[in-house]
Copies of this chain bind each other. A is one copy, B any other.
Amino acid sequence: MKFNDFPIGIFDSGLGGLTVLKEIRKILPFEDLIYFGDTARVPYGNKSKETIIKYSSEILGFLTGIGVKIVVVACNTSSSLALEYLKDKADVPVFGVIEPGAKKAVRVSSGGNIAVIGTSATIKSRAYSAAIYKEIASLESDKSRLFGAAFKITEKACPLFVPLVEEGFADEEITKGVINHYLSSLFTEKPSCLVLGCTHYPILKDSISAQIGKNTEIIDSGVETAGAVKDYLERNGMLKTGTKKGCESFFVSDDVEKFKELGGKFLGRPIENVVLAEGIK
């Protein structure tokens, strides 16, 4: 098997990363995809850096053991805290979801306020702020694209969003109340964009958008990451050959049936080929 025909590995703490897989599938229809959801140990968002690195590292080993040409860390928490470690360890390229989201935020805001929401661990890491400042710096050095404008970044943790989504409460009144509770100060601030820094949050996009108003562009890091992955594969001549529809395999660390049931909702279509990864948990 040619290296180009190896699958793309994608992993997440649980189900949320399926929103990233969905975006990758949209623009890369011929690639084979292998997804790992750490459903036994979900959520990562309130765990320590050491624990997140340990878990992510085990999954990286699992995916590279199967054989993948690239790994997408489709979990914002893991991307925030473990990405550098994983990049050092892996012998294939490793992509996180932070940098693509940050780049898009700088591009659309062109100065002004950028808001980022995520889990406690993601926000505490300040990984989005760091990536946004890095992107601004790289643009500043390119004189033709100098902004000269002052950026203000507001980061806000929204720990209840994940359990609300997992409970299927996305459209409930309660969820609107929780959105208002976390984000009311942002609503008055009117940021030029709001980055959804957690793979569960796209499910709440419409509810958040309705409250924050049309002038704030909502950025889905998953969409941006899918674009960055496609770009990378193209530029490096790593796209899969042929035009056969790509396969998908799913591995989980806990109950297969539950993943099929809930995962189907995230993906918007039934999930097949789900296997329990006995070695991990």
Ordered nearest first, which 6 A-B pairs have the shortest CB separation? Answer: A48-B255, A163-B163, A40-B51, A174-B177, A51-B254, A48-B254
Q: How many copies does the complex hold?
A: 2
A59 to chain B, nearest CB (A): 14
A-B contact pairs, 24 of them (CB 8 A): A40-B47, A46-B166, A47-B255, A48-B254, A48-B255, A50-B255, A51-B255, A54-B281, A159-B163, A159-B166, A159-B167, A160-B160, A160-B163, A160-B164, A160-B167, A160-B169, A163-B163, A172-B181, A173-B177, A174-B174, A174-B177, A174-B178, A174-B181, A177-B177
Contact with B along A169-193 (1 / 0, CB 8 A): 1001110011001000000000000
Contact with B along A50-66 (1 / 0, CB 8 A): 11001000000000000
Once bound together, how far apart are the Cα atoms of A50 and B46, in whole Å?
24
A177 / chain B contacts, CB cutoff of 8 Å: 173-174, 177
Whether A51 pairs with B174 at a CB distance below 8 angstroms is no
A40 / chain B contacts, CB cutoff of 8 Å: 41, 47-48, 51
From A14, which residue of chain B is reached at the shortest CB distance? Answer: B46
Q: Which of A46, A164, A255, A258 has the most CB of B within 10 A?
A: A46
A157 to chain B, nearest CB (A): 10
From A40, which residue of chain B is reached at the shortest CB distance? Answer: B51
A: number of interface residues (CB 8 Å)? 28
Binding site for B on A (CB under 8 A): 39-41, 46-48, 50-51, 54, 159-160, 162-164, 166-167, 169, 172-174, 177-178, 181, 253-255, 258, 281
Once bound together, how far apart are the Cα atoms of A258 and B46, in whole Å?
10
Once bound together, how far apart are the Cα atoms of A50 and B54, in whole Å?
22
Once bound together, how far apart are the Cα atoms of A253 and B169, in whole Å?
30
Once bound together, how far apart are the Cα atoms of A169 and B159, in whole Å?
11
A274 to chain B, nearest CB (A): 13
A163 to chain B, nearest CB (A): 4
